A and B are shown apart, each in its own frame.
Chain A
Amino acid sequence: DTEVTQTPKHLVMGMTNKKSLKCEQHMGHRAMYWYKQKAKKPPELMFVYSYEKLSINESVPSRFSPECPNSSLLNLHLHALQPEDSALYLCASSRSAGELFFGEGSRLTVL
Chain B
Amino acid sequence: SQQGEEDPQALSIQEGENATMNCSYKTSINNLQWYRQNSGRGLVHLILIRSNEREKHSGRLRVTLDTSKKSSSLLITASRAADTASYFCATLPNDYKLSFGAGTTVTVRA
Interface residues of A (CB under 8 A from B): 2, 4, 31, 33, 41-45, 48, 50, 55, 57, 88, 90, 92, 96-105, 107
Give how many A-B residue pairs fall within 8 Å (CB-CB): 55
A101:B100 contact, CB within 8 angstroms: no
Q: CA separation between A31 and B96, bound complex, in Å?
A: 10
A42-B101, A48-B97, A102-B43 known; 14 new pairs, CB 8 Å cut-off, are A2-B42, A4-B42, A42-B2, A42-B88, A42-B100, A42-B103, A45-B97, A96-B96, A100-B33, A100-B43, A100-B98, A102-B42, A103-B42, A105-B42
* CB closest chain-B residue, reference A33: B98
Interface residues of B (CB under 8 A from A): 2, 30-31, 33, 35, 40-45, 48, 88, 90, 92, 96-103
Q: CA separation between A41 and B37, bound complex, in Å?
A: 11
Give the one of A33, A55, A99, A105 with max B CB within 10 A: A99
B97:A104 contact, CB within 8 angstroms: no
